[in-house]
Structure 1
């Protein structure tokens, strides 16, 4: 079974993609988990309509009373999932759900998986030149500064840590999310830092991506917060304030 964990309730495209895969492979099973991170809009209402339409075995809704941040919301969805493979995705449609087949191929290319653990990360690095041409010099400088800090402090060898399209085996999800501390935007970096610490194989796979208006990231302050989180990640693990230990599998 494939578990798809979404933070927002844009479900139509995800369910259509799942139906398409199901037609091609009758053995394919899936579930979609929507995590409403304390929103004040109609997220839960829309999601529950899909739940009624498709059944709770296909669509489930988790409503958080208090906003916990993207990382905290995804973590709740991960630990509520039942799939052997778990896809985390931003449901704004920036990445295309059919691209999960690319991630699955990247995951399979990593076999044999040590302890059944592997991660395939969607990547927009191949689109970097095009995106730079559309950005201001200031935003480009912030981007390069953030990439340098990620490389210098936390994660080596992954060009795009922040793409919200990642496929994990259940064992890899258990090992990484059980140790996760950061609940805001930089949680992806800590996730991959933990994965590299445990020597979990990681594949970076180019995916289609479209710029979506309405981003919640405010360029300067968001990058500043993320930079601070990167320093905290490095210092807290370095000083032993945070420790990485063997964790139990998810039930």
Structure 2
């Protein structure tokens, strides 16, 4: 019976609440709750969020349940909540993807501030008003909860803690971001800023948050951070390995787009560091894909040369004179091949993870001298300019 009901649901169907009283104002805040097969958590979470906003939020609000292709009773529960609670609406999408759900909910909203939070309510709701206040005042364009800033109180396992910290360090090293926590499921944005950013964001899944923040920061928008109380959901359905690989592909794509000038930027881009880092990430991904088919040294040479050739159109425009292409490629081949040879000698049974680790270390050893030289030259240029002025 449920299958027949689900088949009759339209692809995108907002279910309005009963006609509101004439005096009810338009919502100032529209909070999306993206869900996929959340029949167990959806109702208690939405009712708890609704009660909290009714008691503590001083402005009109809306909660939009954004169901992205659930196959259980989630859409039926969402429809019932929308019928019972006057500030709750819902939409249904035919395809999965948290980013896709947020794009649909935010694009359809007329509220001055839009946002979202995860359905498990891992973030303490007391941070909601501090999150939204700087957007309502016009002080900031985006606001994010952070689990990694001083003042945050976080309860989660060591594995997820390590993954989260490593991911954000990777973002700082590759894309030079200034925000501390890209993936906390607790964010808000002014609707006028969202209208500018959403057409530029390509990801429809978990990388959506990161891409949105990177583009916003590069465009010169102000991002406000709120330390949050966070209790991790032990039943989280996020599959870490596929998500991590998708994030790496997203970092490479966004990095190349920034290096080529394909995205708007309100600050100077680091057109040498970004493409070199993206090239190194692409080398690691291609090496991991080809390694089961051939020997380590052959795969290393093939994947590195392929990535180097593809990166040359970007690497040919660094702000400092770049080294000649062939000697630089030869040096990178020598260092990566030597690193693999040393690994085989020291640990003959080492697996793919160890090989990727030594290759990453080899790329880092090649990048550090360039970074130091660029920093020293930049410092000399600043001191010279100060003396001249």
Confirm or deny a common fold (TM above 0.5).
yes
Instruction: Output one character per residue of 1:184-212: Cα deviation in whole Å (capped at 9) or x when no partner.
Output: 11111110111112211111110121111
Q: Structure 1 stretches (4+) deviating beyond 3 angstroms?
A: 105-110, 126-132, 139-145, 242-245
CA contact (8 A) 2:153 2:230 kept: no
CA contact (8 A) 1:106 1:205 kept: no
CA contact (8 A) 1:154 1:190 kept: no
Aligned partners of 1:39, 1:155: CA distance in 2, in Å?
36
The answer for the alignment partner of 1:31 in structure 2 is: 62
Give the Å deviation of 1:175: 1.5
Give the Å deviation of 1:167: 1.6
Give the Å deviation of 1:4: 0.7
The answer for the alignment partner of 2:142 in structure 1 is: 119
The answer for the alignment partner of 1:248 in structure 2 is: none
Within 5 Å, give how 1:97-136 maps onto structure 2. Answer: 97-107=125-135, 111=139, 118-126=141-149, 134-136=157-159
Could you say which structure has the larger radius of gyration? 2
Give the Å deviation of 1:149: 2.2
Aligned partners of 1:64, 1:188: CA distance in 2, in Å?
19
Instruction: Output one character per residue of 1:113-147: Cα deviation in whole Å (capped at 9) or x when no partner.
Output: 5xxxx111111114889668x414xx665444322
The answer for the alignment partner of 1:84 in structure 2 is: 112
Aligned partners of 2:154, 2:128: CA distance in 1, in Å?
23
Aligned partners of 2:154, 2:229: CA distance in 1, in Å?
13
The answer for the alignment partner of 1:13 in structure 2 is: 48
The answer for the alignment partner of 2:93 in structure 1 is: 64
CA contact (8 A) 2:29 2:111 kept: yes
Aligned partners of 1:16, 1:86: CA distance in 2, in Å?
19
For structure 1, the 5+ residue unaligned runs are 246-251
Aligned partners of 2:125, 2:199: CA distance in 1, in Å?
26
Aligned partners of 1:19, 1:81: CA distance in 2, in Å?
20
Instruction: Output one character per residue of 1:75-106: Cα deviation in whole Å (capped at 9) or x when no partner.
Output: 11111112111121111111133321111344
TM-score (norm 2): 0.54
Aligned partners of 2:94, 2:259: CA distance in 1, in Å?
34
CA contact (8 A) 1:36 1:63 kept: yes
Aligned length: 229
For structure 2, the 5+ residue unaligned runs are 1-27, 36-41, 266-389
Q: Which stretch has the larger CA shift, 197-206 or 219-228?
A: 219-228
CA contact (8 A) 1:176 1:191 kept: yes
CA contact (8 A) 2:113 2:136 kept: no
CA contact (8 A) 1:122 1:206 kept: yes
Select 1:175's aligned residue among 196, 201, 224: 196
Give the Å deviation of 1:108: 6.1
Select 1:200's aligned residue among 207, 217, 221: 221
Instruction: Output one character per residue of 1:196-240: Cα deviation in whole Å (capped at 9) or x when no partner.
Output: 122111111101211112222223332122122111111133235
Instruction: Output one character per residue of 1:4-51: Cα deviation in whole Å (capped at 9) or x when no partner.
Output: 1110343111111121125xx3xx111111110001111111111111
Aligned partners of 1:145, 1:87: CA distance in 2, in Å?
26
Matched, 1:219 2:250: no
Aligned partners of 1:83, 1:155: CA distance in 2, in Å?
32
Give the Å deviation of 1:74: 0.8
Give the structure, 1 or 2, with the largest relative contact order (CA under 8 Å, sep 6 or more).
1
